[in-house]
Structure 1
Amino acid sequence: MKTVKKVLFGLLAILILALIGFAIFLNGLKPDYSGKKSLPGLQGEVTTYFDTYGIPHIYADNEKDALKALGYVHAQDRLWQMELLRRVGKGRISEVFGADFVKTDKFFLSLGIDEHTKETLKDLNPNSEVIQLSQAYLDGINEFIKNGPTPVEFYLTGIEKEPFTIEDVYNAVGYMAFSFAMAHKTDPLLTSMRNKLGEAYLNDLAIDSDTSTVWIKNYKGIETDTLGSEISATVMAALDQLPIPQFEGSNSWVIAPEKTKNGKVIFANDPHIGFAQPSVWYEAHVNTPNYEKYGYHLAGVPFPLLGHDRNLAYGLTMFENDDIDFYYEETNPSDSTQYKTAEGWKTYEVVNKTIKVKDGEDVAFTYKKTHHGPVLNNIADQISGGRPVSMSWIYTKPKNQVLYALHGISHAKNIEEFKDALPKIHAPGLNVMYGDAKGNVAWWATAQLYQMPDSLSTKFILDGASGKDEPLRYLDFSENPSATNPPWNYVYSANNQPDTIAGMVYPGYYLPENRAKRIVQLLEEKDQWDKEDVSEMILDVTSPINTNVVTELIKYFDVKQLNAEQLMLVDSLKNWNGEYTLNSTSPTLYHRCEYFMVKNTMEDELGEEMFKQFLSTHLFKRQIGWGAKNIDGVWWDNVLTEDKVETRHDIVMKSFADAWESLVVDLGPDPSEWTWDKVHTLEHQHPFGQVDALRKYFNVGPFPVEGTREVINNLSFPYDGSGFYKVNVGPSTRRIIDFSDVENSISILPTGQSGNPLSKYYKDQAQMYANGEFRKMMLNKKEIEETAESILTFTK
């Protein structure tokens, strides 16, 4: 018996020691937010104050030292995110996650992001301030890689840490540029729809600009094959697999002093990006004798994409311009190595790549390139045949100066310096929003725009052989849409259609007017704005468009076919004010009806796969309000029923019946229980959270949340027929800068500052975000020192 006890005590002691060892190991993986660290190459001491939300306030005697410290603290909180982001453009995701990502790597390699980066690096001046500061930031990252604790994700995947280079910065920006684009989801799909169904069906789609909707106004007074469907499916599959977020849309408005209570500019911005854990932005406040900025940084990029100081503020929304064109190529029938151009036959460029695969053999693949760009037919098995289709993307065409632009806008002292940096952004297309302490408000659309031949629709695959479908000229930046200090005393952007550009309506994948209409409505009806008013507005969950759709379609309800309970809910829907609050039932019924309306109208013609692709486009969002007004369109008839021609009335009634039946199955027979909080939820997903056993350790949430698609508080979701709306896109931050009290400006992140699951800042803002709360963005040094949670000092 004593022997057994000794063995048990021995085992218990071993277990305790193992647990202590494991706890010590885990504790060693946490970021260090206090103490002293040596950072080689510093010219002086750098003091970093971490506030109560883990945001670093970095004070240094010079900017190189500050950027080196920024690189270190950014890496200790976000190295895993940096690692994934730099791998996408180089086709290195399969090295981390295995063979399931080979097609994703093939797709991104064929885009030419990495090749374009290599060409850009040849022309860089290593002695320029931009590259010197970028290298200081990278040196800080690499010092953490060398001497800091290894994030737990590296242990779980087994990948080795590697130093970061300037190449990684450009590849990260290249991914950002592509994730904005919508043409890859839309143009091939529309071509297949036209080939399959004919022009009559396309005439009943909201493809072209609608002049009756709200457009962003300029003001310069003061300053038959199915190949297309297969390409769309391939692109969607590649993007859906990515373990990092995509950039989707955004809101921003800047109110001039004439409309504010305190006579100073108020700036608001909430870029809409795919939710993930960690969230996309890393906040940092950098202060030196000659430079100060409170900025929002993309992983691995040294200069903030969003930022403010005491003099000015800037932010971004997506322009949604058309910067990708697809071309049918014609192969020489007597020489398969050649393709046809207006100047004669040219030789395909052949590109060979090798993809390393975790726990598998290397994968070699080859694709062709034309003068337009990569031929997409061999990037995935399902589109290996058919007519060659190439993709022309403006990002890989001109000289890449985007990093210089980010440096320029983050270092501008006034509106003139700020504007001078913008022409360097050739892609992605951005609406850059601006406000300053002197009372200026401005908006510029930044992109390298180009003019195509008249009457040519770039929403379809073009003719690559004749030379007739080529760009006619590149537009000068002065021709881009913009507004500076307009007489209506505000500027805004909600990814909607801009006014004419160089005398033409510029093609794009603009979102419907829903958010724009609400923003303009609220701004127009009120003066005397203050920070509290703007914070309420940025959380607004009212849709004026969805209520219009209800009003239009409810006319076609046959009340004789409804029971008393249904009549009561329809009456409630008729009186709905368009608000999406947690305890309301009208939003739940509306979205079920809307989904079945679109499904019953279009899936019979498109088929299941093409219909799924259509639901992922901005065109679908534009179609909802526009299509509801269409009384006699060809889409209403169900082509699968031979003995009947369906009308809009038939589709409306069937969709309501389908919605009601599905809600009873999912939420029970009592309509009062069909509240929005039961179906509209937000969970921030980490790549490892897809494993059930790891979900609670890496994912954050889920939370029931207010809002919906295309309201100002745009908490959006995909339609998949489930009837449960898992939010996947929304405000990546909500920022409000009031120049009457700039030191008390406010913001919030979706989860937390840190991407390290062992950090206390991993999810400390998540509930606040879901509740619609804010926190301060501190600029006052005395307040920062007095309230600092911890201090980390870097020495030589």
Structure 2
Amino acid sequence: MTSDTTLESENLVADGLFAPVTVTVDESGISHIDAQSPEDVFFAQGYIAARDRLFQLDWWRRKGLGLISEVLGPHYVERDRAARLFLYRGDQVADWQSYAPDAQSAVRRFVAGINAFIAATEAEASLLPPEFTKLGYAPSRWAPEDVSRIRSHGLFGNLEQEVARAQTLHKFGPQVEDLRRHREPAIAVTVPEGLDLSLLDDEVLRVYRLATGPVSTTPLPAQEPDGSNNWAIAATRTATGRPILASDPHRAIGLPSLRYLVHLRCPEFDVIGAGEPALPGVSLGHNGHVAFGLTIFPVDQEDLYVYELHPDDPSLYRYLDEWRRMESVTESIPVAGAPDAEVTLAHTVHGPVIHVDHGQKAAFAVRAAWLEPGMAPYLASLAYLRARNGSDFADAVARWRAPGVNHVYADIDGSIGWSARALVPVRPNWDGLLPVPGDGRFEWDGFQPADALPSVVDPPRGWVASANEMNLPGTDEWDSIPVSYEWYANCRAQRIAEVLSDDSKMTLARSAALQNDYLSIPAREVCALLTRTPSEDPDTDEAVRLLTEWDHRMSATSSAAALFETWFRGELRTELYDRFLQNTVDAVQTADALAATLPDETMAGDPAVDLLLLRHEHARDPERLQAVLGRTLVNAFRRLKETLGEDHSTWTWGRLHRTVFRHPLHSVVDDPSDPWMTLGPYPKHGSPDTVGVASYDPRTGFQTAGATFRMVIDVGNWDASIAINAPGQSGDPRDGAYQDLIDDWLTDAYFPLHYSAHAIEQCARSTFHLRPGSPT
């Protein structure tokens, strides 16, 4: 890639521009794009996104369209076939009309900008990032439909829970299922009439996992969609008398960052913030009138249908008392080093067929709301770029369908608000917790209208917030409709509410500190149960002392944090679950039931069941609970002595809990030795339960999810706003902005989110000009 100094001295020609565009790159790597029209600002956004993130963009497109085999060879054909099963194949006109009036135009111009940069790499090969050289291929041109047809990158996951629930019920019964997964509201699970639970084995989800997971020849179980935090604080509750908005979406830790900050300025709008590099516009940020942020609102948007197959013809399935033939299409997948592969994609009336069990004469298909028109993730954010106040913003997000999202906003007039928006299926005769027979008795009855979901404007308490918790209002405030029964633990929401509810005035610095708050609510509750009574065992006394004198903050330098997390998610959890199961299942089933119910928290922590069990034990027999706490705690203490050394003063949570940024090619190329493929490991504060989320893989201790992007907006004094985006803005390993923000991120620091022309001029690192070439 040419350096910024070279770019600074050049006017770059971009075929397809209508008028000149100026791009100023600031000291944090943010491109501020000035154009004379929306058409040119979206074109330039695509061009600059490709300049900074070309391989990431190309990989996103190849994963979604099922074109990985064209680069990596025949081992990935099955994965490509799976991806193609989940492409949007509906009415393209209806799809474009769902997002925003100018969505198709915006995407067309954005894609033209990407293609213009690809054309530049064809003329100057040194512009290509090293991934293309390593894999020996060149990037392909985009079509506008690529952006809207790809849906498998979204945040969904109910299908995994449906199958896991069916397996648990079949093997162990409803009490064990209650232990496996906490439901809100706590309804009983009812098996749909005619559903044979024995059919739901792990193979059922193989194709679904290949389609929605990372590039791999081995299907990995889909993890819980990552969480997020956001809040908006009214002017009456802040030190400046202006609203504050904060948002920190939590996603998988990767290289480069999923989020990409950009500033888009034209006569129609002036918006700055973050989105995903493969999409035009901005999803989180502000436009000089309204600031906006989002978190996941975990709506149930998927169902698995189970069909009886014709005994003599597996392409026929029973539906409405007749045999109906699956719709099939044959496609050709290009394969590196081998002939093209012909694959067949089958669909039922409900959706793509993901598995056929020939022995049991059964087939399985997915109905997903995200395969409906208007469900390309985050693309609906185009509708609110021009909002002039909170009311405009609320009207614009009525178009929002995917993923399910809690929107918060704050405007310059002082209004704040929250709106939950998603495409919510209406299930008239079942709850969505289990697969259902595909014979026509279990059908969606359309979708809930947008205004059926709750919203709040200017609440008396002076703030709104969300953290993926069960946040549906009470029945006195809202006519409740079924949305989901599976939410995130409320630990983060509880901690946010504690801080926002105190009497002191909120500042940007306090909001930033709250985004990086590492106090563990479960730790505070569990450690309060410990009693410091002398024992004959010095290890027990020292372990109890460590935790009872601790401030419950999951600091990377804390020895108590290392002990607590090892104990809470290790010995204590296993003991609590095991004790419950011993009274629930036959002795020969206990080990298998324990393996089935212990949570896999790789992406999102869920201590809800643990805390419920502890509260129950404490209420029933507090003395017996003390014995359990003491025994498991000393076992964890001694395990850490073996792991970290006899001297517990040298223990730190950061020795067990670290962040590594890994490039997606790390797991798929034979020689991942290039230093740019792995950055770290770095000791990391936080846990799955803290506002500053740092979920991790217990097998490695490496962080798997968290907020690599954060922003805090001073509404009305825009240049005072701050943000961070780790490891850096660029996706090109040769660029200094590839990893220049890691140290700031690790120390909970931010950079200024410059907005005014004067502020941008003062912090400019480079400025270059795009001028029109040949029209596209």
Name the TM-score, length of structure 1 as normaliser: 0.84
Correspondence for 2:239 among 234, 245, 261: 261
Aligned residues: 731
How far does residue 461 in structure 1 lie from its aligned partner after superposition? 1.7
Correspondence for 2:115 among 126, 142, 164: 142
How far does residue 192 in structure 1 lie from its aligned partner after superposition? 0.2
How far does residue 324 in structure 1 lie from its aligned partner after superposition? 0.7
Correspondence for 2:554 among 556, 580, 587: 580
How far does residue 134 in structure 1 lie from its aligned partner after superposition? 2.4
1:606 is the counterpart of 2:573: no
- Confirm or deny: 8 A CA contact 1:101 1:241 kept in the other structure: no
Correspondence for 1:731 among 707, 711, 720: 707
Q: Which residue of 2 aligns with 1:188?
A: 163
How far does residue 285 in structure 1 lie from its aligned partner after superposition? 1.1
Distance 1:268 1:164 in 2: 34
Residue identity opposite 2:61 in structure 1: R
Correspondence for 1:666 among 622, 637, 643: 643
**Residues 117-266 of structure 1: pairs in structure 2 closer than 5 A:** 119-120=91-92, 124=96, 129-148=102-121, 149-172=127-150, 174-177=151-154, 180-209=155-184, 224-225=197-198, 227-231=200-204, 235=208, 241-242=214-215, 248-266=226-244
**Residues 477-516 of structure 1: pairs in structure 2 closer than 5 A:** 477-500=450-473, 502-504=479-481, 506-516=483-493
How far does residue 769 in structure 1 lie from its aligned partner after superposition? 0.5
> Against the structure 1 CA distance between its residues 692 and 622, is the aligned structure 2 distance closer, same or farther, given a 3 Å change threshold?
farther
Tell me the SS of whatever aligns to 2:434: coil
Correspondence for 1:48 among 23, 28, 32: 23
1:358 is the counterpart of 2:336: yes
> Against the structure 1 CA distance between its residues 755 and 486, is the aligned structure 2 distance closer, same or farther, given a 3 Å change threshold?
same
For structure 1, the 5+ residue unaligned runs are 1-25, 213-223, 634-646
Deviation per residue, 1:453-481 (Å, 9 max, x gap) = 46x342222233250x3334521111102
How far does residue 137 in structure 1 lie from its aligned partner after superposition? 1.9
Correspondence for 1:547 among 524, 531, 541: 524
Distance 1:611 1:104 in 2: 29
Correspondence for 2:608 among 594, 619, 622: 622
1:563 is the counterpart of 2:547: no
Deviation per residue, 1:563-605 (Å, 9 max, x gap) = 2033212222134332011221122112222223444536944
- Confirm or deny: 8 A CA contact 1:400 1:426 kept in the other structure: yes
Deviation per residue, 1:217-249 (Å, 9 max, x gap) = xxxxxxx52634444566556655338999611
Distance 1:34 1:774 in 2: 30
Tell me the SS of whatever aligns to 2:732: coil
**Residues 67-82 of structure 1: pairs in structure 2 closer than 5 A:** 67-82=42-57
Deviation per residue, 1:630-657 (Å, 9 max, x gap) = 4399xxxxxxxxxxxxx97887566445
1:756 is the counterpart of 2:732: yes
Distance 2:46 2:334 in 1: 28
**Residues 76-91 of structure 1: pairs in structure 2 closer than 5 A:** 76-91=51-66
Deviation per residue, 1:116-172 (Å, 9 max, x gap) = 4xx325875899633223222222211110113222111111222211111221145
Q: Which residue of 2 aligns with 1:429?
A: 404
* RMSD over aligned Cα atoms: 3.4
Distance 2:109 2:223 in 1: 27
Deviation per residue, 1:440-498 (Å, 9 max, x gap) = 111111111133246x342222233250x333452111110211111111111100112
Q: Which residue of 2 aligns with 1:459?
A: 433
**Residues 318-329 of structure 1: pairs in structure 2 closer than 5 A:** 318-329=296-307
**Residues 410-449 of structure 1: pairs in structure 2 closer than 5 A:** 410-449=385-424
Deviates more, 1:140-149 or 1:760-769: 140-149
Distance 2:252 2:280 in 1: 22
Tell me the SS of whatever aligns to 1:191: helix
Correspondence for 2:87 among 113, 126, 143: 113
Tell me the SS of whatever aligns to 1:70: helix
1:97 is the counterpart of 2:72: yes
> Against the structure 1 CA distance between its residues 377 and 435, is the aligned structure 2 distance closer, same or farther, given a 3 Å change threshold?
same
Distance 2:270 2:223 in 1: 29
Q: Which residue of 1 aligns with 2:371?
A: 396
Distance 2:89 2:523 in 1: 45
Name the TM-score, length of structure 2 as normaliser: 0.86
For structure 2, the 5+ residue unaligned runs are 122-126, 188-196, 217-221, 579-588
Residue identity opposite 1:577 in structure 2: D
1:684 is the counterpart of 2:661: yes
Distance 1:33 1:673 in 2: 50
1:592 is the counterpart of 2:569: no
Distance 1:765 1:309 in 2: 24
How far does residue 676 in structure 1 lie from its aligned partner after superposition? 0.8
> Against the structure 1 CA distance between its residues 434 and 558, is the aligned structure 2 distance closer, same or farther, given a 3 Å change threshold?
same
Deviates more, 1:566-575 or 1:580-589: 566-575
Distance 1:778 1:423 in 2: 30
Distance 2:379 2:511 in 1: 32
Deviation per residue, 1:274-296 (Å, 9 max, x gap) = 11111012211122233211131
Distance 2:763 2:605 in 1: 49
Q: Which residue of 2 aligns with 1:519?
A: 496
- Confirm or deny: 8 A CA contact 1:207 1:619 kept in the other structure: no
> Against the structure 1 CA distance between its residues 310 and 369, is the aligned structure 2 distance closer, same or farther, given a 3 Å change threshold?
same
Q: Which residue of 2 aligns with 1:216?
A: none
Tell me the SS of whatever aligns to 2:184: coil
Deviates more, 1:203-212 or 1:254-263: 203-212
Residue identity opposite 1:519 in structure 2: I
- Confirm or deny: 8 A CA contact 2:311 2:361 kept in the other structure: no
Tell me the SS of whatever aligns to 1:421: helix
Distance 2:237 2:701 in 1: 37
Distance 1:383 1:543 in 2: 49
> Against the structure 1 CA distance between its residues 259 and 632, is the aligned structure 2 distance closer, same or farther, given a 3 Å change threshold?
closer
Residue identity opposite 1:483 in structure 2: V
Residue identity opposite 1:195 in structure 2: H
> Against the structure 1 CA distance between its residues 481 and 709, is the aligned structure 2 distance closer, same or farther, given a 3 Å change threshold?
same
Tell me the SS of whatever aligns to 2:494: helix
Deviation per residue, 1:406-449 (Å, 9 max, x gap) = 22112222223222222322221111111111111111111111
